[in-house]
Amino acid sequence: MTHNLQNQQILLAKRPTGMPTMEHFSFQNAPLPHPEDGQVLIQTLYISVDPYMRGRMSNEKSYVAPFKLNEPMNGRIVGKVLQSKSDQLHIGDKVVGMLDWQKYNTADINNVRKIDENGAPLPAYLSVLGINGLTAYFGLLDIGQPKEGETVVVSGAAGAVGMITGQIAKLKGTHVVGIAGTDAKTDFLKKELGFDEAINYKTTDDMSKAIAASCPNGVDVYFDNVGGSISDDVMNHLNDFARIPLCGAISSYNRTDGDFGTRIQPKLIKSRSLIKGFIVGDYSEQFGEGMRDLSTWLAEGKLTYKENIVEGFEHVPDAFLGLFSGDNLGKQLVKVSEE
């Protein structure tokens, strides 16, 4: 029975300039949606919050459309089927998909994917077995193409994508150096994830020198999640024919003063390096292959992941804002309901 369920949504209340705050979000009660033929009603269990959503809060053309003002924000959600008007999904099934930030969604069954609950705990489908794992997998392997014995540097290394990237790079037999912003993170990367070296950029005076020391054979692959001056420093040490998968530029997302630096083109010419922006959706036709490898590595104990899960729908905005403070270690999720 669903007739006494109260739906609630999180709307984009205002477009931020610079760092977003709570005033840019609003909560609102809403009617419970009703599934039509070919649809299911889904109860939200876990919500993923991700840095790229900052871009969607602005009204700029990008690879995903901006959020609309005074409408629900959306993102990757794991939920449970409460009603089904399809033969292909049943009550109690767990699913993952792009859904609105609300407690209950309806969705066409083609827009969600059923989760194999034997594979891993549900939150993993929003991190290592979800978009973050696939982002690391395709960015590193397709663009980065690491070869055994090469050196791979990962910025934002303790983030949801970075920590998977570094581990896949280790599986490929490379020397892996992570860059992160707290000692807790660098310790975690080295002691728990097997990174060869990790640099705390907040306590390191001369990053360029520290990168040189950690990468005695230069940098062959730089998986870039952050942009800004950290990337400038890494790019001083590119080997010939280096590859730079360009995944994110979190250092720039909330800037209002312009993001200036030394132009990188001369560094790219001297080393004949490649840099390529990408989003995971570019690889959607190969997701099956990526999921197979990630699931296998996870089952074999070759991949470790870490989530930071806060409880309560009301905490979605602050969990999102926390991404920009640099404190989170691993994937940030919000648990909305019990499984």
Give the range of 39-47, 86-94, 259-267, 329-337 binding its own copies by CB under 8 A: 259-267
The residue within the footprint of its own copies, chosen from 1, 36, 61, 92 (CB under 8 A), is: 61
Neighbour count for residue 148 (Cβ, 10 Å): 7
Q: Are the C-beta atoms of residues 96 and 112 closer than 8 Å to each other?
A: yes
Q: Are the C-beta atoms of residues 261 and 232 closer than 8 Å to each other?
A: yes
- How far apart are alpha carbons 126 and 335 in whole angstroms? 12
The residue within the footprint of its own copies, chosen from 2, 28, 203, 262 (CB under 8 A), is: 262
The residue within the footprint of its own copies, chosen from 92, 216, 266, 288 (CB under 8 A), is: 266
Place of tokens 């969604």: 105
Q: Which two tokens stand for residue 165?
A: 């990237």
278 contacts its own copies (rule: CB under 8 A) = yes
Give the range of 87-95, 152-160, 163-171, 225-233 binding its own copies by CB under 8 A: 225-233
- How far apart are alpha carbons 248 and 50 in whole angstroms? 11
Give the range of 154-162, 173-181, 221-229, 320-328 binding its own copies by CB under 8 A: 221-229
- Using the minimum distance from each CB to its own copies, give the nearer residue, 151 or 231: 231
Give the range of 67-75, 123-131, 254-262, 331-339 binding its own copies by CB under 8 A: 254-262
- Using the minimum distance from each CB to its own copies, give the nearer residue, 208 or 252: 252
DSSP structure string for 280-317: GGGGGGGHHHHHHHHHHHHHTT-----EEEEE-GGGHH
- How far apart are alpha carbons 11 and 27 in whole angstroms? 6
Minimum distance from residue 28 beta carbon to its own copies (Å):
30
Binding site for its own copies (CB under 8 A): 61-63, 224, 227-228, 231, 240, 246-249, 252, 258-266, 268-279, 282
